[in-house]
Structures are given as structure tokens and as C-alpha cells.
Structure 1
Amino acid sequence: MKRTTLSLIAGATALAAVTGFAALTAPDGAAAPEAKATTRLPVERVGLVCPAPSTSELAETLYTSYTPAGTGKGSAPAAGQAEQPSAQLRTAASTTTGGGTGGKKPKPAKAPATVTAPGKPVTAEAEGPAVPALTGSATGALAPGWTVQQTTVVPAGGARGLLGLGCGAPDTDFWFPGASTAKERQDYVHLTNPDDTAAVADIELYGPEGALKSQFTEGIPVPAHSTVPVLLSTLTTEAPLKDVTVHVTTRSGRVGAAVAAADDKLGSDWLAAAADPASTAVLPGIPADATSVRLVAFAPGEDDADLKVQLSTTSGSIVPAGAGSLHVKSGMTAALDLPDLTRGAVGSLLLTPSDPKKATPIVAALQVVRGKGADTEIAFIPATAAVAARATVADNRAKGSTLSLTAQGADAQVKVTASAGSAGGTPVTKTVTVKAGTTTVVPDLVPGGLKGSYALTVEPVSGGKVYGARTLALPEDGVPMFTVQTFVDDRGTVEVPTAHQDLGVLD
């Protein structure tokens, strides 16, 4: 997905203005310096969006807000600037459409988490069905790597489960393979607009036979600073489908988007957006005790995709028995059950073209189930991009958090940091070597003297591409509740070109 931010546009405009002034006031005869290579500087402003967590009366939500330490420059405002670094969340109004929440007035979260300094998580709690969506921004030294985790426990009812989501950046294009319009599922796509102007979004649904006919052809309006939950099954008159790919785009403005999926029997969780369409896909962090794994893939282009399916284990890559390939027709959703996939060990799924000469872009996600019978819980793992420089997942607990890393192409060295706890504790850092084609579980990485929850930050040091996921397991009355969040690069720095004088532009 495109991650262009207004801060980059503003920065480029300011840079152009400064460059023009320097050129017009250059002394006669002065030689223009040679252009230098670009440099990387910390971003100065980022924005995040958290959807409304639940409509259950029993819901208990914990927000964890965190900015990694050690970003470097930008710890104080520049000379002449009054603005101090900040990282704050604010409530968004609720607007319903397509079977929404019935127009309940939003209830402010109790002191939404506000980070005051890098390196220490800050938490806030909220309860009940009327907790609103949140939008927020971070500036200055608190902007690079700012992360917010939303974790909700619903102990009973139709939406029972542990729902976890890393609050995402607003954008204009999202893919969600793994959604459903089946009768036993209640899947809502939440659209949240953080900006001062209204946005208009389109939602396209694709099943095994292609695009589904939609009842909404003029787009869905999302007012400024508002959220709109849309029940997917109300968007089409076609028969219910087990596997659906959702494509969210905007005609104007931008939104944050996520799918809340609830299964009457299996449980519930958030389905985060998958990585941009690509010819290969990595889906990391499948729990060791998964009792059911289902792969859902979609080919958005004009060509079919023939995929080779491999499981990256602790000892190497293997082909799942009887499920080593998947054919995905253009514009259609394909699914593949992977029984007995992990066999007691954490693994990661790797999808590659069967024919390397025919690389067709796809999007993909996994539906993972733990437990059996009435005691089951569901979670989703979207395909994720490699961590380029740094990524963080917040809200980890002393017990129940599992960090898994997989390397592709070559062995990789990775620095992993467990932050200070939200209520106390000493950060811990270790360097881990992940062999190419394998998945490594990083054990016993908990801050010393931990009190509260902590954040995990992953930074590749050298070697091949690294992908990661965090599983949080919080059993409840015999139900193995869990949620999985992948590590998404935080884009905490940006390349800035070095300007030089060029009076030729005035000719």
C-alpha cells in the first residue's frame, strides 16, 4: 500500500523554497557544490487509526502506545518552534451503514494512551460496547516508530475471543483476503477517516467465481473524524460465501481500514490488511498447536497465478503433504486447507511462483484455529512485507507472548529489543541469527523486573530478508484465546535529498 504522508509533501515544499532562496541570493561567480547522496532522517509526523474495538457488553480493551528509543535526532523542537513532541489519540464519531452498531453514542476511552517519552509503553483501558474508534498523530521525537496496539478480550457471546490489532496508517488502498459473507460469520469492514475533510470509499468483494454484485455503486461516504462499520454480507445479494477477498479503495480522501471477523463457533479477531500484491508472499508465525490452517489467496491482475506452497520450519523448508501447490484464477479467490500443518512447531508459510519466469502478483492471508470442539479460537495472519529497518509490536505479556522470525534468501542477523514495562522494568536486547529458509522462535526475552506490558522491536542487522510475527495467547475458561500480529516496518526514517544550487533553472 502507498504510505505517502503529508509531512513528506510539506518537507519537499519547504526544501524547494529554501533551495530557490539560496539560488537567487548566491554570490556572483560562486561555484555550485556537487549534489550529494540522499540521507535518512527521522520522520517528524505520523498518523494512526484504531477502529471501534467491539459491540459486546463484556468487552475489555487495552490500548498500548509506544515509541522506540534510540531514534536519534529530533528530540527537541528547532529554534523558533514552540511545538513540543507529542503522541496522542482522539475519539472519532460513529456513523453506521450496512448493519452497523445502531447509532450508539461514542463513549470516550479512559485517558487514551499518550506517550510522553520514547522507550516506555503507556497504556489505557476501556470497557463496554460503545468505546469509539480513535485517531491520532505523533510529532517530533515521538513520531519515528510510533506504534499503538489495540487488544480486546470478549469472554463470551457471539463475538467471543481475543481481538488484537496494530492500529494502522490511513491510506487509499487495502486488500483483505480471508474475509467471509457466510451465515456463521459476521464480518464488518471498519472505515475511519482521521482528516478534516470527508472521504468516499469503494468496497469490492471477490469470491471463487469473481467479483460479487454490489448494492453500493456510488461509494460509501466517511465524514471527517468519523468511523463507518459496514457489514460485508449487506453489500451483495449473492449467496453467502465462505471465502471472500475485500478490496477497499478511496475516490477521495483517505481512511484507515480493518475487518472485524466473528464466527459463531470458532471465535473472533481482527483481519489486518495484507501486504501489497507481489509474486511471493510470506505469512509468518503460525502457532505450533494450530488445529486448522486455511490459506486464502487472490490474483488481482489479468493473469492466473500458479503457486508453490512451502512451510518454513525451525530446521528448513518443507512441502506440506498433499498441499504443495495452489492455482489462483485471475480476479477470483482461491482457498486451500492445510491439515496437520505445523505438527507441534511454529512455522511460516511461503508462497512462490511455480514457474519463476511467470511471476503473477497475489495477496494472501491465513485463517488459523486453535483448540477443538466448543473450545476454539480463531486468528488471521496476512501476508506481510519484510522488515526494512525496524518494526514494533506492543502489548506483550510476561507469559503468553511468542516472537517468531523467518529469513529468506540468506541467513540474517536481527537485533530484538524488549522495552521497559508500562509500569516498570529494564529493557533487554539480544542479537539473533536466523538461518535462511527457517523460522526461529525467540524465547525468554522479557524485560528485567517487568511490571505491566512491554513492546518488542525488531531491527535487521545484516543478511537476508526478515519477516516476523508475535502471537499473544490469553486462555479464558478453557478457550485457547490468541491473536497474531505481523511486524510491519515502521517507516521511522525517510530519504531526504541533499540540495545544491542550480541557477540554470532560471534561464
Structure 2
Amino acid sequence: MNRTTLSLIAGTAALAAVTGFATLNEPTAPVSTARTAAVLPVERTSLVCPAPSTSDIADTSYTSFTPVTKGTGGDGSAELAAATAESADADGAKSGKGDKKKTEKPVLTPKAPGTPATGDTSGGESPALIGTAEGKYAPGWTVQETTEVAAGSGRGLQGVTCTGADTEFWFPGVSTAADRTDYVHLTNPDDSAAVVDLELYGKDGAVKSTAGEGITVPPLSSAPILLSTLTDEKQDDLTVHVNVRSGRVGAAVQALDDKLGGDWLAAATDPAGSLVVPGIPKDATAVRLIAYAPGDADADLKVQLASPTGLITPAGQETLHVKAGMTTAVDLGDVTRGEAGSLVLTPSGPSVPIVAAVRVLRGKGDAQESAFIPASAPVGTRASAVGNTAKGTTLSLTAPKGTAKVKVTASAGSGGGTAASKTYTVRSGTTQDVELPVPAGLKGTYALTVEPLTDTPVYAARTLAATEEGISGFTIQTLPDDRGTVAVPETDEDMTVLQK
């Protein structure tokens, strides 16, 4: 997923990018040959945010941020607003929930790159949102949706980074157990309908179901699909594969537990032989690893924890065997033991692509809360996490393959303040919860932008924590590359192609 497509044709062209797709204008000069690629900022980015909650006591905040990027020029705009069409039920029928017209006021409108913009909603009728950023607002545009629910199923803090639309998603860690209520939210930002298949895989392989086939998501709308309606089987650990037959959608899973709170599960990174699950909280009381092998071969994995002192092997959980086409889960307990940690999964035999995620619990007894961390791609060039507060924010950095230097910038606050930066050295094989730079005169929330200064892969995750009626809610988001730039080869005229 997250594939980037370049169409290179002759002449001077204007660059445009929408959720990972970049194109050049039609040619006005002879066909040319490519030379060294120039790295240019994208000029258009589109994101979707799922409907936040059905709880009448839900309070949701949205935060938008674009890091300042060289070469963007002075023009542009960004807006996050409700979808314009009706939403749909699981069978594709229009439900009317979240109906909004384009004339309604946007939830937020950023004023300038480098400064967060915020908006909020409350109650259980808030719709899915579709956002577009152009010009100087487009490169690295990031939007966070964070919801506080004081009581009921899924109570606690739920957070998700709004994503671009795509054609395939993997979600290891979903469930149809009696105490879980898991929805796959499918949001279509385009002007034509999308058709989606939902495939479930459990401990014995594919789960038989026809209800997940051919789900139609109308244009500019969102469809929340309750997973338990797709099968009568009750399984604790499942993987759902979102496969888009036509069109594109944004996808995220809302996993709500009757006793253990809830959170959003973002899509895992593409299947790969080696994976990193960054940013497991040091005070995690229980960590459950869920993995799935989508191919025809079994996967044998070495399980390691990147701790502050280096890579260690959890006692009794040195390896994991994942059968082809099946979901495997293992309890790792309080694997971090009071220290920052990230899971590093590598092949112990032939490399076989897998997808993975972990479910994390914090607290004890009736005060337990849960969150999910999918395996993530590295930060790459740059990534941002938004909606951070003066207290309750933790940034975790991991460098599993070599020592790395990383620059972290805390932006100005949404209500005022001055940006600040720090540089950190993350030793090979370790995870660090870094001491964050503090914006001077901070008012409101702020953004954290992570920029590796070395070629060593760096993985990052941000934890937000807040106490609501005695329960410490938390949510965790990973920080893959923001895809704020794209490589565009320089060109020269090549008249010889006209003679062929």
C-alpha cells in the first residue's frame, strides 16, 4: 500500500500529489530523457478522518499541522470538513448518519505552516471528515483525531492519525469476541463509488463469510462495518484484509472493549520479512503480539525487544512460528519491565512476509486501558505527530540497525509560543523515550516533527495520556514518512526518439 506513481513526460510540468500520487502536466515540448532526480515538495495532499464515536458523551479534538518546507512558494490553503454525501451501512444502503452539506463550516482551517490549527466536536453524531491541503500547506500535512469517552464500552482515550486513501490495508489485532465491538471504517473521498472486500483470517485460516464481499461505499461518504456481522465465529485474534476492487478508500479499525477501554487500530505497514513495532510504553502491564502470514509459506521469527541498553530476547518467547494464511497471537506480559521498548521481528529462517501489531494494556483491575501499535515503516525523511500537550506526551525513538542522529522540533503552540528543537543520538539496537524540547510560552497543543540526520533507519511512536475520572487513558500513533516530497527526474530534449 501507499504506492507512489510517477508519470514523466516532456517539458516543464507542474507537480501535484494527492495522498501519495504525483503526476506531471501534459507535454508541450519534444520527448526528453531523464537525468538526476530533483526532490520537490508535493503540491496537493488529501486525508480522511473516520467518524470518531457513537457515544453521546464523546469529546473529539482535531489538530492539523504542516511543517515549514523549502521550495513551496507563498500560496496555498487547507481545509478539513464533513463528507458531502450520505454514509452507508455494511450492505451499502444509505443510513443517513452523518449527513452534512458542503456549505457547513469546516472543522478547522489552518492559518499558516509551522503552527497547528485545532477544531472540536462532541456527541455521537460527528461524521467522517475529508481534508485537502494545497500549495505550501500540502507537504507533510498531518491531522490527528483524538476522542475522550468518560464511560461505557471503549471508555478512555482514542486517537488516530488521519490517512490518505488507498486500495489495500492489513489490520492484525481485530476481534469478534463477545466483549469486543470492532468496526472497520471505510471512507471514500472521491466522486465515484468504491467497492471493497473485507477478508477475515483467524487461527485456522480464512473465516468463511460472504457478507464482506462487494461492499459499496458511495462517493464522499463513510461506512462503518461491524466485524461481528460478517461471521458467527467468536475469535479473540483476527486479521482483516481490506481489498478495494474499484476506487479508493481510507480505512481504520475502531476496537472497543467492554472492560478494557478501546482505541483505533491503524493499518500495519506492508507485509515484510522483518518488522518493527515501536514505542511500547515502559509501564505496559500486558503486551499481546498478533501476526499474520499472507503468503503460501510459514514464517519463523526471532522476537527481540529494543530496550534502552540494547536488543534483548524475552524469556520464553524467543521465537514465533506463524503458519501461512493464519493469524498467530502470543502474550508477552509486561515485556518492557519499566523501560522504553520496541519489538523487533526478524526471520530465524527463510524470509517470509508478515504483518503484525500489538495490543498494549496499562493500569490494573477496573482502571485498565488499551491501545494498539501496528508494525510501522521508518520515519524516512520526516514525520510529524500532532495534538501534543505540555503534559502527557511521550516520544519514543528506535534505531534497530545502527546508531542514528535525530532532530526533533516542537512547533509553536496552537494558541501561541515559539518553536524549539533538540538533537538526539539513538544507539544501535536501542529505544529511547526522549526528553522533549519545550516551546517557549506554549499555549494550546503543539506538533512534534522528527527528522533523521543519518541514513540509519529510525522508527518512532508518540503516546498521548490523559486521566479521565480516575482512569489513565492513552493512545499511541506511529510516525512513518510524511511523503512531503517526491523525486522528479530532470529532463533534456532527445530528438532521436522522433526518428524511431
**Structure 2 length-normalised TM:** 0.93
Q: Once the 2 structures are TM-superposed, how far is the Cα of residue 381 of structure 1 from its aligned partner?
A: 0.3
Deviation at 1:253, TM superposition (A): 0.3
State the shift of 1:463 in Å. Answer: 4.2
Residue 17 of structure 1, aligned match among 27, 33, 39:
27
Alignment of 1:338-487 (within 5 A): 338-355=332-349, 358-487=350-479
Q: Does structure 2 conserve the Cα–Cα contact (< 8 Å) formed by 1:99 and 1:230?
A: no
Of 72, 75, 82, 2:73 maps to 75
- CA distance in 1 between counterparts of 2:235 and 2:43 reads 44
Secondary structure in 2 matching 1:290: coil
Q: Which residue of 1 aligns with 2:318?
A: 324
Partner Cα distance (1:482, 1:165) in 2: 12
Distance 2:373 2:492 in 1: 46
Counterpart residue number, 1:43: 42
Counterpart Cα distance in 1 of 2:145 and 2:347: 35
Contact 2:198 2:212 in 1 (8 A): no
2:306 matched to 1:309?
Answer: no
CA distance in 2, matches of 1:259, 1:217: 15
Deviations 1:224-257 (A, max 9, x none): 00000000011123x2000000100111000000
> How far apart are residue 3 of structure 1 and its match?
3.3
Question: In the TM superposition, what are the counterparts of 1:48-447 in structure 2 within 5 Å?
Answer: 48-69=47-68, 71-76=69-74, 84-92=75-83, 93-97=86-90, 103-106=96-99, 111-216=106-211, 218-237=213-232, 239-355=233-349, 358-447=350-439
Give the C-alpha shift of residue 274 in structure 1. 0.3
Q: 1: CA distance between counterparts of 2:321 and 2:128?
A: 38
Aligned 8 A contact 1:410 1:463 in 2 = no
Equivalent position amino acid for 2:72 in 1:
G
Percent of pairs with identical residues? 58
- Summarize deviations over 1:392-417 as a string: whole Å, max 9, x none: 01000000000010002210000100
- C-alpha distance in structure 2 between counterparts of 1:217 and 1:424, whole Å: 47
Question: Could you list the runs of 5+ residues in structure 2 that have no partner in the other structure?
Answer: 7-15
Tell me which amino acid in the other structure corresponds to 2:227: L
Task: Tell me whether 1:4 sits opposite 2:4 in the alignment.
Answer: yes
Aligned mates of 2:193, 2:95 — CA distance in 1: 21
Provide structure 1 residue ranges, at least 5 long, that are not aligned to the other structure. 24-31, 77-83
Distance 1:499 1:297 in 2: 44
Q: RMSD across aligned C-alpha pairs, in angstroms?
A: 1.9
Q: Deviation per CA, 1:368-422, whole angstroms, max 9, x where unpaired?
A: 0001111111000000011110000100000000001000221000010000000
**One-letter amino acid matched to 1:453:** T
8 Å CA contact 2:87–2:95 kept in 1: the answer is no
Once the two structures are superposed, what CA deviation does each residue of 1:117-171 show, in whole Å capped at 9, x if it has no partner?
1100000010000000001111111100000000000010112120000000100
- Quick one: distance in 2 between partners of 1:177 and 1:35? 41
Give 1:13 deviation, angstroms. Answer: 4.3
Structure 1 residue aligned with 2:489: 497
Secondary structure of the structure 2 residue equivalent to 1:186 = strand
CA distance in structure 2 between the partners assigned to 1:139 and 1:216 by the alignment: 38
* Cα distance in 1, alignment partners of residues 457 and 396 from structure 2: 14
**CA-to-partner distance for each residue in 1:47-89, whole Å, 9 max, x for gaps?**
10000000000000000011002x111223xxxxxxx401111
Structure 1 runs of 4+ aligned residues shifted over 6 Å read 98-102, 107-110
> Closer, same or farther in 2 for the Cα pair 1:234/1:293, shift >3 Å?
same
1:35: how far off?
4.9
Secondary structure of residue in 2 paired with 1:94: coil
| Range moving further from structure 2, 442-451 or 479-488 | 442-451
Give 1:110 shift. Answer: 6.8
Q: Aligned with 1:311: secondary structure?
A: strand
Q: Secondary structure at the match of 1:499?
A: strand
Match of 1:79 in 2: none
CA distance in 1, matches of 2:5, 2:194: 16
What TM-score does the superposition give when structure 1 sets the normalisation length?
0.92
Aligned length: 484
SS in 1 for 2:496: helix
Shift of 1:103: 4.3
CA distance in 2, matches of 1:423, 1:67: 16
1:285-316 deviation digits (Å, cap 9, x = unpaired): 11111111000000011110001100011011
Q: C-alpha deviations, 1:190-238, integer Å up to 9, x for none?
A: 000000111001100000000001132641000000000000011123x
**SS in structure 2 at match of 1:197:** coil
For the Cα contact (< 8 Å) 1:110–1:124, is it kept in 2?
no
Is 2:87–2:218's contact at 8 Å kept on the other side of the alignment? no
d(CA) in 1 for partners of 2:302 and 2:145? 34
What do residues 437-469 of structure 1 show as CA deviations (whole Å, max 9, x unaligned)? 000111142211110000000001014110000
- Per-residue deviation at 1:495? 0.4
Whole-Å separation in 2 of the counterparts to 1:64 and 1:12: 28
Q: Do the aligned partners of residues 12 and 155 (structure 1) sit closer, same or farther apart at CA in structure 2, a change above 3 Å counting?
A: closer
Whole-angstrom distance in 1 between the partners of 2:234 and 2:251: 22
Q: Distance in 1 between matches of 2:94 and 2:314?
A: 42
Counterpart Cα distance in 1 of 2:152 and 2:64: 28
Aligned residue identity for 1:52: A
Partner in structure 1 of residue 12 of structure 2: none
Q: Is the 8 A contact 1:110 1:126 kept in 2?
A: no
Q: Which residue identity lines up with residue 440 of structure 1 in the other structure?
A: Q
Task: Give, in angstroms, the shift of residue 12 of structure 1.
Answer: 4.2
CA contact (8 A) 1:100 1:230 kept: no
The AA in structure 2 aligned to 1:158 is: S
Write the distance in 1 (CA, Å) between the matches of 2:98 and 2:46: 24
Query: Quick one: distance in 2 between partners of 1:224 and 1:53?
Result: 19
Provide the rounded CA distance (Å) in 2 between the counterparts of 1:172 and 1:261: 22
Q: Determine the C-alpha separation between the residues in 1 that align with 2:430 and 2:64.
A: 31
